[in-house]
A and B are shown apart, each in its own frame.
Chain A
Amino acid sequence: MKISGSKIFLQSLKEEKVKHIFGFPGATILGIYDCLFDDPDIQHILVRHEQGAAHAADGYARACGKPGVCLVTSGPGATNIVTGVATAYMDSIPMVAFTGQVPTSMIGNDAFQEADIVGITRSVTKHNYLVSNVKDLAATIKEAFYIATTGRPGPVLVDLPKDVLLDETEFHYPEQVSIRGYKPNYIGHPKQIESALKLITKARQPVIYAGGGVIRSGAMEELLSFVNKAKIPITNTLMGLGGVPGDHPLSLGMLGMHGTKYANFAVTQCDLLIAIGARFDDRVTGKLEKFAPNAKYIHIDIDPAAISKNVRVHLPIVGDARLILQKINKSIVPGDYSAWIEQINKWKKEFPLSYKKSDKVIKPQYVVEQIYDLVKDKAIIATEVGQHQMWVAHYYHFNAKRILLTSGGLGTMGYGFPAAIGAQAACPDKIVFDIAGDGSFQMVSQELATAVQYGLPVKIAILNNQYLGMVRQWQELFMNRRYSGTPMEYAPDFVKLAEAYGAVGLRAEKPQEVREVISKAVSIKKPVVIDFRVEREENVFPMVPAGAGIEEMMLP
């Protein structure tokens, strides 16, 4: 029996066990929306701006590990998801984005709502497709999901011309995919692993530097057992937080520009750096010449192009972090690192993370600490980008699976709230917090309507300092306090804004109110916006000035 491209689309998604689509309709994908109208198996979640659909699909994927799906129309619908797709690309998130396209006969004619989205997204997708014949549709969707979820995961975009969705053909969903030229390597080379084991035994001052690849490959258990067996101190990147419990005695917290002093000292002085699923990003390394200058580097990564990109690696192991760690754990013989650990513990005591407490004004760090204290690992935490994001990294000890959703690579403000909506759809029984800044939240506050419509009780904790705080901090430290473009006194009353959307708005103005307001928000089964009026000019410390070595940290 022949069925339309729109029906093939939905059937294919069911084959991929897709339960949720985040989307926004339009002329070219009306056919799909017509089929969705009475489909009992797939829930469509209507966002209020397409960028929200892409971020929600991304948050969905990070929360539950399954690929997120978004669906938008051609032209502006497609261009509006570009930021979300790029965000997922930089953080290696499995996602499949479907965009409508004008009929094949009109492509290239500047037709109404036409955009060359395949061209536009070429550099921010793992792969993308323009489907030009309905006969290719099912196989293309199969490939798209396969590519998005295998190897180093990433977003794949499929562009669907209107006529392809109308045309009919037999539905046949391929069982297997074989793409010449795409064969991810999962198993690390045994010789390389052997050499790594030798280096680890020989080292005196080793440090593990673990990134988002650990989370993506689900290697948390293996990493923890590696740390416990080898007794090697570990620092995580922002993307890798939660890779080992943040309160583990060998955990050094985050490293890099806003890393802990002891993590940055340890990395600078180590003699062996074991990078796992991390890519030596500039926010991590600071000035490259001063990054672990005396160390040998072992680099475990699934992406061969990540090896020796920013630093010269002595021993690369290309493959899946989980599988490689399993092998390493089997035959690890730790060296004697006792003096090194003693030194690190001294640094930890001497330079703990700290901020000046107050009982008059709410310190933003205090809010993060209290959220952590009240919900701990029952919650999924999303963040936007800026100071609040760094305070979350410092004061929220991630320790369960996949509980931090944050835009690490692209640094997308406005990511957290829609991502939290996606995470809540994926995990209805979890508490989902978006810890936000007032600037970021205003970029996506329209998604309150989405959260209310679908009964997704996301809690948005705005650390409201009426500034674009991180930029203001740079201006304070490096530009003589010339606050150009950063004051944000003109903002809506967030409590009233929440109420206008049918959500609940709460406010805390004194430190004494913080815990009560958080507890109240958690108990309400609706979306809640909490306006925390925090210290306006609080800074994130430690901080490494751009271009400096990571041991050159500024303290308050």
Chain B
Amino acid sequence: MRHIISVLVRNHPGVLSHVVGLFTRRSYNIESLAAGVTEHPEITRITIVVTGDEHVLDQVMKQVNKLVDVLKVGDLKYRQAITRELAIITVKAGPKSRHEVIEIANVFGAKVVDMSEDTITLELSGTERALQNMVRLLNPFSIEEMARTGTIALSMKSSEQ
């Protein structure tokens, strides 16, 4: 099963590697990892996407929770979470194929952020699935470079009510 683990930590040096270390020790492959400041500048939210055995994951979360600099750990259920990821993708596209690429971008709501004689750079934020779908359609044009942030997530308040 795939899980989105959300960890709130005190913004101290070394916390990130400590948290990640506990996952790697139990041979969890981290699929994506994103860290950024929260509404409190001294608190960072780390969002980790992992796949693996629930029992072991439960154990790892308890161990993460034990760290002095960790304030809160939660397993966000996909269905009850708002998940987003940002990608910047540079696609090979000369004058002939440019239109086709821009059409795909429009369908997915991606923005064109740069263009050269033979490339277009797109920016897309969305769910991981939306990103994957667009990447699949862009592949035939040859993707030159891609950067992705990894998933960030918050629990969906409306589904809690």
A residues within 8 Å of B by Cβ?
A: 118-119, 122-123, 126-127, 130, 147, 179-182, 303-305, 307-309
Complex alpha-carbon distance, A308 and B9, angstroms = 25
Given contacts A123-B25, A181-B10, whether A305 and B66 have CB atoms under 8 Å apart is yes
| B residues with CB within 8 A of A | 9-10, 13-14, 17-18, 21, 25, 55, 58-59, 62-63, 65-72
Q: How far is the CA of A52 from the CA of B14 in the complex (A)?
A: 28
Is A303's CB under 8 angstroms from B13's CB? Answer: no
| B66 A304 Cβ-Cβ under 8 A | yes
- A118 CA to B13 CA, complexed, in Å: 10
Instruction: Across the interface, name the chain B residue whose C-beta is closest to A143.
Output: B68
Q: Apart from A122-B21, A127-B69, A182-B68, list 19 A-B contacts with CB within 8 A.
A: A118-B14, A119-B14, A119-B17, A122-B14, A122-B17, A123-B25, A126-B68, A127-B68, A130-B14, A147-B68, A180-B10, A181-B70, A181-B71, A304-B62, A304-B65, A305-B59, A305-B62, A305-B63, A305-B66
Q: Nearest A residue to B13 by beta-carbon distance?
A: A130
Nearest-CB residue, chain B, relative to A151: B66
- Docked complex Cα distance between A307 and B69 (Å): 21
Q: Do B65 and A305 have beta carbons less than 8 Å apart?
A: yes
CB closest chain-B residue, reference A303: B66
Distance between Cα atoms of A181 and B21 in the complex (Å) = 19
> Roughly how many angstroms separate A119 CA and B59 CA in the complex, as a whole number?
23
A-side contacts of B17, CB under 8 Å: 119, 122
A123-B21, A304-B62, A309-B59 given as contacts; is B14 within 8 A of A181 (CB)?
Answer: no
Q: What CA separation (Å) do A308 and B66 show in the bound complex?
A: 15
| A to B CB contacts below 8 Å, 24 in the list | A119-B17, A122-B17, A123-B21, A123-B25, A126-B68, A127-B67, A127-B69, A130-B13, A130-B14, A147-B68, A179-B68, A180-B71, A181-B9, A181-B10, A181-B68, A181-B69, A181-B71, A303-B66, A304-B65, A305-B65, A305-B66, A308-B55, A308-B58, A308-B59
Inside 8 A of B13's CB, which chain A residues have their CB? 130
Docked complex Cα distance between A320 and B9 (Å): 26
Bound CA–CA A292/B66 (angstroms) = 28
| CB closest chain-A residue, reference B64 | A305
A504 to B9: give the CA distance in the assembly, Å.
55
Bound Cα distance from A180 to B42, whole angstroms: 12
Nearest-neighbour CB distance to chain B for A329, whole angstroms, equals: 29
CB contacts (< 8 Å) of A119 on chain B: these are 14, 17
Interchain CA distance A440-B13 in the complex, whole Å? 38
Q: Which residues of B contact A303 (CB under 8 A)?
A: 66
| Cα–Cα distance between A122 and B20 once the two chains are bound (Å) | 12
Question: From residue A87, how far is it (CB to closest CB) to chain B in Å?
Answer: 19
Chain B min CB distance to A178 (Å):
12
Residues of A within 8 A of B62 (CB): 304-305, 307
**CB-defined contacts of A127 to chain B, threshold 8 Å:** 67-69
* Chain A residue, CB-CB nearest to B43: A180
> Whole-angstrom distance from the CB of A246 to the nearest CB of chain B?
33
Rounded to whole angstroms, the CA-CA distance of A292 and B131 in the bound complex is 50
Q: Would you give the shortest CB distance from B26 to chain A, in whole angstroms?
A: 11
Who on chain B is nearest to A126 by CB?
B68
Q: What is the distance, in angstroms, from A281's C-beta to the closest C-beta of chain B?
A: 15
Instruction: Give the shortest distance, in Å, between B97 (CB) and chain A (any CB).
Output: 47
Q: How far is the CB of B128 from chain A (nearest CB, A)?
A: 29
Contacts of B65 in A (CB 8 A): 304-305
Interface pairs A-B: 10 shortest CB-CB: A305-B62, A181-B71, A127-B68, A182-B68, A305-B63, A305-B66, A122-B18, A181-B70, A304-B62, A309-B59
Residues of B within 8 A of A307 (CB): 62
Among A119, A123, A182, the one with the most B-chain Cβ atoms within 10 Å of its Cβ is A182
Q: How many Å lie between the Cα of A276 and that of B143 in the bound state?
A: 59
Q: Within the complex, what minimum Cβ distance (angstroms) separates A97 from chain B? A: 16
Smallest distance from the beta carbon of A544 to chain B beta carbons, Å?
A: 25
Across-interface contacts of B55 in A (CB, < 8 A):
308
Cα distance A119–B9 in the bound complex, in angstroms: 18
Across the interface, name the chain A residue whose C-beta is closest to B72.
A181
Q: How far is the CA of A126 from the CA of B63 in the complex (A)?
A: 11
A126 contact set on B, CB distance < 8 A: 68
**How far, in Å, is B88 (CB) from chain A's closest CB?**
30
Residues on A with C-beta less than 8 A from B71 are 180-181
Cβ–Cβ < 8 Å partners of A180 in chain B: 10, 71
> A118 vs B15: C-alpha distance in the bound complex, in angstroms?
11
Q: What's the Cα separation between A486 and B63 when bound, in Å?
A: 38
Contacts of B21 in A (CB 8 A): 122-123
Chain B residue at minimum C-beta to C-beta distance from A132: B13
Residues in A whose Cβ lies below 8 Å from that of B69: 127, 181
Interchain CA distance A229-B67 in the complex, whole Å = 38
Bound CA–CA A305/B66 (angstroms)? 7
Complex contacts, A309 vs chain B, CB 8 Å: 59
Q: Of all chain A residues, which has the CB nearest B18? A: A122
Residues of A within 8 A of B70 (CB): 181
CA distance in complex: A179, B91 (Å): 49
Q: How far is the CA of A118 from the CA of B25 in the complex (A)?
A: 18
* Complex interface: chain B residues within 8 A of A182 (CB): 68
Counting chain B CB atoms within 10 Å of each CB, the highest count among A130, A180, A307 belongs to A180
Nearest CB of chain A from residue B28's CB, rounded to whole Å = 15
Interfacial chain A residues near B68, Cβ < 8 Å: 126-127, 147, 179, 181-182
Bound state CA distance, A179 and B70, in angstroms?
Answer: 10
How far does the alpha carbon of A182 sit from the alpha carbon of B25 in the complex, in Å? 23
CA distance A127 to B63 in the complex (A): 13
Q: Which residue of B lies closest to A307 (CB)?
A: B62
Q: In the complex, which residue of chain A has the Cβ closest to the Cβ of B70?
A: A181
B8 to chain A, nearest CB (A): 8
Looking across the interface, which residue of chain A has its beta carbon closest to that of B58? Answer: A308
Least Cβ–Cβ distance between A539 and chain B, in angstroms: 35
CA distance A182 to B66 in the complex (A): 8
Neighbouring B residues of A118 by C-beta, 8 Å = 14
Complex Cα–Cα for A305 and B60 (A)? 8
* Nearest CB on B from A118, distance (A): 6
